[in-house]
Every structure is written in structure tokens, then in C-alpha cells.
């Protein structure tokens, strides 16, 4: 009798049944040139829009203040989330979605309502193209062109914008409702007694707001990818993202943690390579130059022998302007990669959550056929 050997098991066979392992490819998928270019375009347009505030305001650029406040708030969310501090996560989300925008509106009363929606619209348009491109690659093993994906996203931009903006608007409507009820209830004598009796309603509104904040924080990154993958409407994109989060919150948290971890490592490495290379180039270019020739790099001429300040020569001023112009490229590359990472990660997490919740294969993408077309069924030969 022949001896039956056990079947050969490869590592890809063992990992093929694991959903979360696909999230490890987020950095490489986001680094694909077409998605990186879309991210750089988004970063460039957002940067230009965010700097328009200097036209009517002497304060720092609107984008700079926005990024600083949001980076601090979301950093708090990640740090408290790593410590499994749910209250800290809710506080960080409240700071990112309520307190920081309120401070921005106070400091930039014109830029916030004018430039904020425009910047969000650019991110949704380019981010939707990145999400669609990543989803199509997962479904077909083909990498589509950036122009085709941007056209797909722009055609669905109104509903994608609504899907992204409605949860944020709902949070602010609840905030305004609670503040209005507090102002009406505790402003007049006698009415404050009724407001005190009905204060549990205010607490219920607060609970609803906190739950909505958590839903936006966890399911928010999946809303635009859901719109691009399912090609349905804004309501369906929101409903699917939130439903998957509620159905399997621990799974979604695990997938989000893996996505954030690998994306953070990739972004840190990218910053080291790009920003570090630029800084090294500046340092070495001025290593053998004197204070006068170094002015093309620093933009400052050394003082004269009498201690008087000197203006930059014409050629030195032009050289310094060109170096400053080129110095905008590293932040654009880093910002573009960060945008590509965010929407690629949201797409991968959504596909993984959909597979776990609905059992739907990740290759099932609306508007795209499978990677390999099925063979035609052979016809029966005619009888002679």
C-alpha cells in the first residue's frame, strides 16, 4: 500500500484565514505612487486653503492652529486608548470634536466656517479616490490609475461629503441643544426649578452625545471608504460603519489598533527618511561656507564690523527664496503619505469588519469585477 503523506502547509495558507494580517500591508498599499500622489494633491490644496486666512487676518495661518489643536487632541485619544481608559478616550474625542473647534471658531470667526468645509471637501474627494483605489486593488489585484479613481470619487462627492459631515453636524446640534436648554432653564427665577426637575433629560442628551462621539471616533474613518466601496448612499455608508462597530466592537478596536500601529511606524520612518535627509542636506551644504555665504541657507546676513544689520544681496536673496520653495516639498510628501495612510487604513479596516460581520468577501466591491473571469461553461455537442 502506498504511504499517504500529510498535505503540504505553507505559511500563506495558515495566514490566509486570518483577517487582521491583511492590515499589515497598509503602509505598502498607501505608498503606491497613485495613492501617494492623490495624498500629496490633497495636502497641497488643503495647505493652500489653510493659508488663505492670512489675507484677512494677522494671526498665524488657520491650518497651523488647526493641525496643532487636532494633533494634541487625537494624541490624547491614542494615549488613553492604549491604557484602556474609556473615559479618557471620550474626553479626548470631546476635545477634538467640540472644544478644539469651539476655540478655533472663537479665534478664527471667518476662517473656520469658510475654510473648514472647503478643506474637508478636498480631503473627502481625494481620500475617497484613495479608498476606492485600495478597495479595487483588494478585489482585483490590479492597481487602477489615479485619474480614474479621482473621477469616481468626484462623481460621488456630494453624498460622500454628506456622509462625513452629518455625524459631525449631529454632535454639534446636540451640543447646541444642551447649551440652549441650559440657558433657557437657568436664566429666569422659577424656571430654574423646572430645569432642575427635568435635568435627567439633559443628562440623557449628554449620554447620547458621548455615544455619538465614540461612534464618530471609531466608525468615522470607515464612512468615506464605505461610500466608495458599496456605492450606495450616504445613509447606508454611515449605517454600515456604525453597525459593524456596534456588532463587533472588540474586533473593530483590534483592527483599528493594528492599523494605527503599523501606520504610525510607517509615518515615523517616512519622516525620518524625508525630513532627516533634507536637514542633513542643509547642514552639509553649509559645513564649509562662511557666515556670508551661509546666508543663502539661513536668510540672515552677519552684522557689519560696526554692528549694523546688512541686507541680503540680490543673488543671495534669490537663492534663499529658491531653497525655501524646495523646502516645502518634504512636508508635502509627509502630509500626502499621512493622508494616504489614513484612508487606506480606513478602507482595510472596513473590509475586515464587513467580512467578520456579514461574511462578505473582501473581493466583493461594487462596480468592479473579479480578478479572474470565470471560464465559460462548455456547450453540449449537437447530436448527429
381 or 189: which leads in pLDDT: 189
pLDDT of residue 29: 92
pLDDT of residue 15: 45
Check whether 375 has a pLDDT greater than 60.
Answer: no
pLDDT of residue 360: 83
Position 249 confidence tier, pLDDT thresholds 50, 70, 90: confident
pLDDT of residue 288: 81
Per residue in 94-152, pLDDT (tens digit) is 888 888 888 998 899 999 999 999 999 999 999 999 999 999 988 888 888 889 999 99
pLDDT of residue 14: 43
Phi and psi based region of residue 367 (left: phi greater than 0; alpha: psi -120 to 50; beta: remaining): left
**What is the rounded distance in angstroms from the CA atom of residue 124 to the CA atom of residue 346?**
13
DSSP for 116-139? Answer: HHHHHHHHHHHHHHHHHHHHHHHH
Q: Report the range out of 54-58, 290-294, 368-372 with the highest average pLDDT.
A: 54-58
Mean of pLDDT values over 51-66: 88
Position 289 confidence tier, pLDDT thresholds 50, 70, 90: confident
pLDDT of residue 18: 65
pLDDT of residue 315: 84
Check whether 160 has a pLDDT greater than 70.
Answer: yes
Mean of pLDDT values over 317-329: 87
pTM of the model: 0.83
Handedness of CA 361, 362, 363, 365 (dihedral sign): positive
pLDDT of residue 120: 93
Q: What percent of the chain has pLDDT over 70?
A: 90
Whether the Cβ atoms of residue 24 and residue 262 lie closer than 8 Å to each other: yes
Check whether 234 has a pLDDT greater than 70.
Answer: yes
Residue 143: Cβ-neighbour burial (10 angstroms; 0-12, 13-18, 19+): middle
Check whether 209 has a pLDDT greater than 90.
Answer: no
Check whether 59 has a pLDDT greater than 80.
Answer: yes
Whether the Cβ atoms of residue 128 and residue 224 lie closer than 8 Å to each other: yes
Q: Report helix, strand and coil shares of the chain as percent, to nearest 5.
A: 75, 0, 25
Mean of pLDDT values over 202-223: 86
pLDDT of residue 17: 53
pLDDT of residue 357: 86
pLDDT of residue 138: 84
Mean of pLDDT values over 44-69: 90
Mean of pLDDT values over 32-53: 93
pLDDT of residue 380: 47
pLDDT of residue 381: 44
Q: Where are the beta strands (DSSP E) in the chain?
A: none
Mean of pLDDT values over 287-299: 75
Amino acid at each position: 500500500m502506498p504511504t499517504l503523506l500529510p498535505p503540504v502547509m505553507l505559511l500563506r495558507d495558515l495566514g490566509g484565514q486570518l483577517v487582521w494580517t491583511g492590515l499589515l500591508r497598509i503602509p505598502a498599499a498607501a505608498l503606491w505612487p497613485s495613492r501617494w500622489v492623490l495624498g500629496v494633491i490633497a495636502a497641497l490644496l488643503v495647505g493652500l486653503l489653510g493659508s488663505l486666512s492670512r489675507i484677512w487676518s494677522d494671526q498665524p495661518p488657520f491650518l497651523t492652529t488647526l493641525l496643532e489643536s487636532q494633533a494634541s487632541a487625537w494624541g490624547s485619544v491614542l494615549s488613553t486608548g492604549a491604557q484602556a481608559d474609556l473615559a479618557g478616550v471620550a474626553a479626548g474625542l470631546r476635545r477634538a470634536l467640540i472644544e478644539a473647534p469651539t476655540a478655533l471658531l472663537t479665534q478664527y470667526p471667518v476662517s473656520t466656517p469658510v475654510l473648514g468645509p472647503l478643506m474637508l471637501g478636498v480631503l473627502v474627494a481625494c481620500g475617497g479616490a484613495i479608498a476606492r483605489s485600495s478597495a479595487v486593488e483588494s478585489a482585483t489585484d490590479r492597481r487602477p490609475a489615479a485619474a480614474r479613481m479621482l473621477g469616481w470619487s468626484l462623481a460621488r462627492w456630494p453624498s460622500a461629503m454628506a456622509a462625513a459631515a452629518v455625524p459631525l453636524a449631529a454632535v454639534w446640534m446636540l451640543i447646541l441643544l444642551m447649551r440652549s436648554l441650559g440657558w433657557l432653564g437657568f436664566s429666569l427665577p422659577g424656571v430654574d426649578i423646572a430645569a432642575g426637575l427635568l435635568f435627567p433629560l439633559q443628562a440623557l442628551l449628554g449620554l447620547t452625545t458621548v455615544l455619538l462621539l465614540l461612534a464618530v471616533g471609531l466608525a468615522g474613518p470607515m464612512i468615506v471608504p464605505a461610500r466608495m466601496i458599496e456605492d450606495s448612499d450616504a445613509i447606508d455608508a454611515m449605517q454600515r460603519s456604525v453597525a459593524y462597530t456596534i456588532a463587533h466592537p472588540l474586533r473593530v478596536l483590534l483592527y483599528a489598533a493594528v492599523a494605527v500601529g503599523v501606520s504610525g511606524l510607517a509615518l515615523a520612518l517616512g519622516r525620518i527618511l524625508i525630513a532627516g535627509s533634507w536637514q542633513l542636506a542643509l547642514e552639509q551644504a553649509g559645513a564649509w561656507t562662511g557666515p556670508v555665504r551661509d546666508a543663502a541657507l539661513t536668510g540672515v546676513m552677519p552684522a557689519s564690523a560696526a554692528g549694523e544689520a546688512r541686507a541680503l544681496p540680490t543673488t543671495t536673496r534669490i537663492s534663499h527664496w529658491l531653497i525655501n520653495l524646495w523646502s516645502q516639498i518634504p512636508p508635502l510628501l509627509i502630509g500626502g503619505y499621512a493622508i494616504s495612510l489614513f484612508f487606506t487604513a480606513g478602507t482595510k479596516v472596513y473590509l475586515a469588519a464587513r467580512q467578520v460581520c456579514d461574511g462578505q468577501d473582501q473581493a466583493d466591491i461594487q462596480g468592479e469585477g473579479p480578478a479572474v473571469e470565470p471560464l465559460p461553461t462548455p456547450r453540449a455537442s449537437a447530436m448527429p
